[in-house]
């Protein structure tokens, strides 16, 4: 469909021909024209490519086994359910809680553990800006913490790590027990390698953290450098949307179908005052990642509509034969 046009000029060098063609707007060009056959072929081709991709994607998504358990309401004792916020804020109560999960199908290791928060605006502008990358990397050497406001310091001393993000660190903890033996949860390497190595300092230790009058989220072990505080690192990589998952750890053994897993958790984190949900997610992964049917469905949808369109087009084309060159269709002749 490409028509190459060039004109013959007797010029000495090819570069001057090129220049001539350029200035005369006569460069060899490909001029595709949208003919009916091309239209039909394109739509058919799209269908033919997209439907298989969609089916494979769907299949892959279905092969992922995912257990999602919402626990924010259940983990509040009956008598406090009327006033969840005061329960969660009461630091004197030990907020342990147990959940029982039934494994629906055989889950192959590694099994990823996520916590999921809904209606939590980690992408709020005020929240996102309240951090100091310099301080995370260099610690107290970087003393301009104005960007961390309002959590830049407490008691007149700067906090490390400063800012709202760090201050609101998620602090629920989970323990998994299968048939009375505790499952080993690997909590290393849950953060991005580049974050650990380049964004959080190896020599930077938490300092004056969560020392203010108003305690936000979790606290940190002051003897562990920030680069090894992977929970913090994961938390500090803010989520895009108000519903998000963050990795908690990995179970590195298979779970069999119908296994019952007891989860002992500490329900410390306050999502009650803003009506957020908390969920625990156990999921295997495929080459595509986690479970999400949308991509596959969308592929199949786009592919099949392409085929339908091509059929409709063909039908109309055959039904309305019109010789090209009919000017009656020109808008100014109507």
Partner 1 sequence: MNLDGETNLKLKRSLEATNHLRDEESFQKFTAVIKCEDPNERLYSFVGTLQYEGKQYPLSPQQILLRDSKLKNTDYVYGVVVFTGHDTKVMQNATDPPSKRSKIERKMDKIVYLLFSTLILISSTGSVFFGIETKRDIDGGKIRRWYLQPDDATVFYDPRRAPLAAFLHFLTGLMLYGYLIPISLYISIEIVKVLQSVFINHDRDMYYEDTDKPARARTSNLNEELGQVDTILSDKTGTLTCNSMEFVKCSVAGVAYGRVMTEVERTLAKRKGERTFEVDDSQTDAPGLNGNIVESGKSVKGFNFRDERIMNGQWVNEPHSDVIQKFFRVLAICHTAIPDVNEETGEISYEAESPDEAAFVIAAREVGFQFFGSSQTSISLHELDPVSGQKVNRVYELLHVLEFTSSRKRMSVMVRNPENQLLLLCKGADSVMFERLSKHGQQFEAETRRHINRYAEAGLRTLVIAYRELGEDEYRIWEKEFLKAKTSVTSDREALVASAAEKIERDLILLGATAVEDKLQKGVPECIDKLAQAGIKVWVLTGDKMETAINIGYACSLLRQEMKQIVITLDSPDMEALEKQGDKENIMKVSLESVTKQIREGISQVNSAKESKVTFGLVIDGKSLDFALDKKLEKMFLDLAIDCASVICCRSSPKQKALVTRLVKGTGKTTLAIGDGANDVGMLQEADIGVGISGVEGMQAVMSSDYAIAQFRFLERLLLVHGHWCYRRISMMICYFFYKNLTFGFTLFWYEAYASFSGRPAYNDWYMSCYNVFFTSLPVIALGVFDQDVSARLCLKYPLLYQEGVQNILFSWPRILGWMSNGVLSAIIIFFFTTNSIFNQAFRKDGHAVDYEVLGVAMYSSVVWAVNCQMALSINYFTWIQHFFIWGSIALWYIFLVVYGSLPPTFSTTAYKVLVEACAPSILYWLTTLLVVVSTLLPYFLYRAFQTRFRPMYHDLIQRQRLEGSETEISSQTEVSSELPAQVEIKMQHLKANLRQRNQ
Residues 121-160 that bind partner 1 (CB under 8 A): 121-128, 133-134, 137, 149-151
Site for partner 1 in 270-329 (CB under 8 A): 270, 273-274, 283, 285-292, 294-295, 298-299, 302, 306, 309, 313, 316-317, 320, 322, 324-327, 329
Site for partner 1 in 40-99 (CB under 8 A): 42-43, 46, 50, 53, 57, 85
* 104 binding partner 1? (CB under 8 A): no
Q: Looking at beta carbons only, is 224 or 241 nearer to partner 1? A: 241
Residue 227: C-alpha distances to residues 18, 166, 194, 230, 279 (Å): 58, 14, 10, 7, 27
| 45/302 Cα distance (integer angstroms) | 12
Q: Looking at beta carbons only, is 206 or 217 nearer to partner 1? A: 217
Name the one range near partner 1 by CB under 8 A: 92-100, 106-114, 177-185, 221-229. Answer: 106-114
Q: Looking at beta carbons only, is 151 or 231 nearer to partner 1? A: 151
Choice from 244, 262, 266, 268 touching partner 1 (CB under 8 A): 244
Residue 170 tokens read as 């998620």
Site for partner 1 in 252-281 (CB under 8 A): 270, 273-274
Q: How far is the CB of 134 from partner 1 (least distance, A)?
A: 6
**Contacts by 125-134, CB closer than 8 A, 24 or more apart:** 126/164, 127/164, 127/165, 127/168, 127/238, 128/165, 128/238, 130/163, 130/164, 130/165, 131/161, 131/162, 131/163, 131/164, 131/165, 131/166, 131/236, 132/161, 132/162, 132/163, 133/199
Q: Name the residue among 278, 276, 216 with its Cα closest to residue 91.
A: 216
């Amino acid at each position: 469909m490409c028509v190459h046009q060039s004109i013959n000029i007797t010029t000495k060098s090819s570069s001057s021909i090129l220049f001539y063609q350029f200035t005369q707007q006569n460069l060899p060009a490909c001029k595709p024209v949208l003919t009916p056959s091309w239209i039909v072929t394109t739509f058919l081709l799209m269908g033919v490519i997209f439907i298989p991709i969609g089916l494979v994607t769907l299949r892959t998504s279905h092969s992922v086994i995912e257990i999602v358990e919402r626990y924010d309401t259940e983990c509040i004792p009956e008598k406090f359910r009327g006033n969840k916020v005061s329960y969660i804020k009461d630091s004197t109560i030990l907020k342990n809680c147990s959940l029982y999960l039934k494994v629906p199908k055989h889950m192959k290791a590694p099994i990823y553990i996520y916590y999921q928060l809904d209606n939590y605006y980690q992408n709020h502008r005020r929240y996102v800006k309240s951090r100091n990358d310099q301080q995370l990397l260099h610690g107290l050497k970087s003393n301009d913490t104005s960007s961390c406001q309002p959590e830049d310091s407490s008691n007149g001393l700067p906090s490390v790590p400063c800012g709202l993000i760090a201050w609101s660190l998620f602090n629920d903890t989970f323990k998994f027990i299968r048939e009375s033996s505790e499952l080993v949860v690997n909590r290393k390497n849950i953060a991005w390698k580049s974050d650990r190595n380049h964004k959080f300092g190896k020599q930077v230790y938490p300092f004056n953290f969560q020392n203010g009058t108003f305690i936000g989220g979790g606290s940190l072990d002051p003897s562990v450098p920030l680069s090894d505080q992977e929970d913090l690192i994961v938390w500090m990589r803010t989520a895009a949307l108000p519903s998000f998952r963050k990795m908690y750890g990995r179970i590195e053994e298979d779970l069999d179908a119908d296994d019952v897993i007891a989860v002992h958790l500490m329900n410390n984190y306050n999502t009650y005052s803003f009506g957020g949900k908390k969920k625990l997610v156990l999921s295997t992964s495929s080459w595509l990642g986690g479970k999400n049917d949308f991509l596959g469905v969308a592929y199949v949808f786009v592919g099949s509509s392409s085929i339908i369109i091509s059929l409709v087009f063909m039908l109309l084309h055959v039904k309305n034969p019109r010789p090209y060159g009919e000017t009656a269709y020109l808008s100014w002749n109507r």
